[in-house]
A and B are shown apart, each in its own frame.
Chain A
Amino acid sequence: GQQVQQSPASLVLQEGENAELQCNFSTSLNSMQWFYQRPGGSLVSLFYNPSGTKHSGRLTSTTVIKERRSSLHISSSQTTDSGTYLCALELEGNNAPRFGAGTKLSVKP
């Protein structure tokens, strides 16, 4: 079965609204990483978050390993936040990180 599940698959917001993106996983892992993928394809690392809560500007990531979930909170969304948000599990050893299918976010002005 799928090891990494992201929800929602897509989300439409009005500018200024908040968003909560979820990543659930079914396997033990070393760490969790959140990426933002621009419409052109470039992947930008947002958070490397093995556990706990991290903040970066309007973004907050919380990973709870024992509950096998991680979340990404976007506050006061802006149109430039539009794009795809991906979570990736980093497994033990040097196995390839496993990606979720992503959440496609669209923020309307």
Chain B
Amino acid sequence: NSKVIQTPRYLVKGQGQKAKMRCIPEKGHPVVFWYQQNKNNEFKFLINFQNQEVLQQIDMTEKRFSAECPSNSPCSLEIQSSEAGDSALYLCAGLDTEVFFGKGTRLTVV
């Protein structure tokens, strides 16, 4: 069983719509990462948090995404205005000593 819970598993949105996905990391994982995996299986780092604070994020995330990781609530990643190129598998991971991934949210933008 995955220690990191992601919802929903599948998400279908129209272009321009908001797309929001959630992640509940394992308790005791102080660092949370979001990755985007494209159809070529390439991983793109999006953003990471340590104890609710953003550590690093890429430019795309800064401009078109909003993300937060509040205490006592799920972490979330939201695309403000979905584009076709955002269709991908979005993976959340928690870092303790090693990295544990959730099962991902597969976003399709039609």
Physical interaction between A and B: yes
Q: For chain A, what secondary structure do more than half of its interface residues adopt (helix, strand, loop), or is it mixed?
A: strand
| Distance between B12 CB and nearest chain A CB, rounded to angstroms | 16
B17 interfacial contact with A, CB 8 Å: no
**In the assembled complex, which residues on chain B have CB atoms less than 8 Å from the CB atom of A42?**
2, 101, 103-104
* CA gap between A99 and B33 in the complex, in Å: 13
| Distance between A63 CB and nearest chain B CB, rounded to angstroms | 13
* CA gap between A42 and B48 in the complex, in Å: 20
| Distance between A49 CB and nearest chain B CB, rounded to angstroms | 9
Contact of A96 among B42, B56, B98, B106 (CB under 8 A): B56
Contact present for B91 and A43 (CB under 8 Å): yes
**In the assembled complex, which residues on chain B have CB atoms less than 8 Å from the CB atom of A96?**
33, 35, 45, 48, 56
**In the assembled complex, which residues on chain A have CB atoms less than 8 Å from the CB atom of B41?**
37, 84, 101-102, 104
**In the assembled complex, which residues on chain A have CB atoms less than 8 Å from the CB atom of B24?**
none
B19 interfacial contact with A, CB 8 Å: no
On chain A, which size bracket covers the interface?
Answer: 20 to 34
B84 interfacial contact with A, CB 8 Å: no
Contact present for A90 and B104 (CB under 8 Å): no
Q: Which residues B47-91 have CB closer than 8 A to chain A?
A: 48, 50, 55-56, 89, 91
Partner-B contacts on A (CB < 8 A): 31, 33, 35, 37, 41-43, 45, 48, 84, 88, 90, 94-97, 99, 101-102, 104
Partner-A contacts on B (CB < 8 A): 2, 31, 33, 35, 37, 41-43, 45, 48, 50, 55-56, 89, 91, 93, 95, 97-101, 103-104, 106
Beyond the given A45-B100, A96-B45, A101-B41, could you list 7 further A-B residue pairs with CB under 8 A, ordered by the A residue number?
Answer: A41-B103, A42-B2, A42-B101, A45-B99, A97-B93, A99-B43, A104-B41
